[in-house]
Chains A and B, each alone.
Chain A
Amino acid sequence: MKILVCITNVPDTTAKISFTDNNTKLNKAGVQYIIGPYDDYALARAVELKEKLGGSITVLNVGEAESDPQIRKALAIGADDAVRVNAEPTDSYFTATQIAAIAKEGGYDLILMGRESIDFNSGVVHGLVGEMLGIPSFSPVMKLDIEGTTAKFAREIEGGKEFLEAPLPLVLGCQEPIAEWKIPNMRGIMTARTKPLKVVEPIAVGDMATLGQYTLPAPKGACKMIPADQAETLISLLKTEAKVL
């Protein structure tokens, strides 16, 4: 079982977002980076599957050198080796093209991703990669088991879930409760230092979409507090003032 897990290097979910350079760059001061939470679920399930079925896990990131601490963390959690495509991934199509190229070379049985990145929240890279490789893709997957060369999994649909079976290889975008997030242990951290991390240059992709300027949402006005003993007035305010009822 050869598994490829694609991880993003993203600002922590509690990070305060602001911009510099005339709103063209993220202000990274004080921002802590993490493995995308959904990618973390994908990695955790990959580690469990490897424990059960044997095989290997490769982690892949399209990003610059600042991703390396997160890649090392993924190695500490249980991946065997890593590849970083050395480029600023500013567009889904560009990123997917890089991932598809690495995936093709490696011949993986299973390509696990997160349901979406938490910086751009597109939820499209798995579909793009699946189509580029000519194999099926599904997302968001909340349960996954492998039996021989068949994947048995559950996908969240509106108002519930759908159970599916499909032959490997597959691309899956993962979300909870597919597995519990894993914390690296001391031994993992020690061995991660010497596990291979290969850095490769990107392949050229035509310019599909270029980032311009960032903006922040308009600040929220003050909250109107309604005394508990007059709670009922909320309903009339929602009708007449906010006009949402």
Chain B
Amino acid sequence: MVLIFVELDNGSIKKTSLEAVAYGAAVAKATGTTATALAIGTADAAELAKTGAYGATKILHANAAELANENAMAYASVLAAAVKNENAEVVILPKSGLCDAMGARAAAKLGASIVSGVTELPDVSNGFKVTRSIYTGKAFATVDVKGAVKILGIKKNAIEAVEGAGSATVEAFMPALNNGDFVAKVTGQEKASGELSLTEADIIVSGGRGMKGPDNWQPLLDLASALGAATGCSKPVSDLDWRPHHEHIGQTGIKVAPNLYIACGISGAIQHLAGVNSSKVIVAINKDPEAPFFKAADYGIVGDVFDILPRLTKAVKDAK
């Protein structure tokens, strides 16, 4: 049995989680078994049943007031209980901070193998071999996964998720919770509301030191809003507090994998590229024709961002 954890965002299943369901269903098919999903938190039955359209036959739903906060330790306990309950041999999680943390704790509870950053479907012809991203996207490695229970963290775009027709049966699942998982007290939260998440976004418009200052971001925000894109930035930009830290992309920031990444006034240092090299298409806009970003980009414009960005925004609006 293949068990897939799906992440909820305000009651909706995240897109990367639907990809994980499709991935899990494909593994189930290849190994001659079925795929069950697991959701933790508040969501309505119709939303949960959607996992069926991506290949899950049933979805376990754990919901309790104590689980309202994303508590990786409590979530790991629920996940481990579900693995035991369903006799799952393979567990699929989308790659995210929450999933890495809960997958790790569940792996230690179960004595399971854990491989994070998986980029393709496994080869199950002889054993269970997966390909994972290593060296921050600069290379891949095949790993022969040997534990009786195998936990995989899959990267965005590891599979193309195609919506089908099925519907999953929703089953309430509520194991006993451990007090030990709730020793931490959440004393506050700062969260930008209504913002598109960088890890989920299909399009990202990102700015570097070439934007020249925090007050100059409007043209970039305008293009992002015309494209329905999320916004990111380089490390110096967040170090200088021009943009919030959670927008920082790269080796020491968030790793993203959108369909389209538009870099504005970012030089293309190797540490920045490490966070964007999984993007499908990269556009670089830079006034310096020698900027290293052009070597990593699919499309390039040599020009001043303050001239180019408003024109691109207008072109997007005109094309609608």
- Which residues does chain B contribute within 8 Å of A64, judged by CB atoms? none
B73 closest partner in A (C-beta): A136
**How far does the alpha carbon of A149 sit from the alpha carbon of B259 in the complex, in Å?**
46
CB distance from A214 to the nearest CB of B (A): 5
Are A217 and B187 in touch, CB under 8 angstroms? no
| Closest beta carbon of chain A to B17's beta carbon, Å | 13
Q: How far is the CA of A18 from the CA of B18 in the complex (A)?
A: 34
Interface pair B144/A212, CB less than 8 Å apart: yes
CB-based contact A128/B245 at 8 Å:
no
Q: How far is the CA of A162 from the CA of B259 in the complex (A)?
A: 29
Complexed CA–CA distance, A105 and B293 (Å): 48
Given A123-B116, A215-B140, A224-B298, answer yes or no on A164-B129 (Cβ-Cβ < 8 Å): no
State whether A142 touches B245 (Cβ < 8 A). Answer: yes
List A residues 195-227 near B (Cβ within 8 Å): 206-217, 220-221, 223-227
CB B270 to nearest CB in A, in angstroms, measures: 5
Size of chain B's interface in residues, with CB distance under 8 A?
92
Bound CA–CA A163/B191 (angstroms): 11
Q: A239, B117: Cβ atoms under 8 Å?
A: no
Number of interface residues of A (CB under 8 A): 79
A17-B146 in contact (CB<8A): no
**When A132-B108, A232-B315, A244-B260 are in contact, do A167 and B183 touch as well, CB less than 8 Å?**
yes
Min CB gap A205→B, angstroms: 10
Q: Is residue B115 within 8 Å, beta carbon to beta carbon, of the partner chain? A: yes
A145 within 8 A of B: no
Extra pairs beyond A11-B135, A131-B109, A226-B299 (10, CB < 8 Å): A128-B104, A152-B187, A157-B189, A159-B197, A163-B189, A212-B144, A213-B142, A223-B295, A228-B301, A228-B303
| Chain B contact residues, CB within 8 Å of chain A | 70, 72-73, 76, 96-97, 100-105, 107-109, 113-117, 129, 131-147, 153, 180, 183-192, 195, 197, 199, 202-203, 227, 239, 244-246, 251-252, 255, 259-260, 270-271, 274, 277, 280-281, 283-284, 294-304, 307-308, 311-312, 314-316, 319
Task: Give A residues with C-beta under 8 Å from B.
Answer: 11, 13-14, 17, 19, 37-38, 91-93, 96, 118-128, 130-132, 134, 136-140, 142, 152, 156-167, 175-177, 206-217, 220-221, 223-228, 231-232, 234-239, 242, 244-245
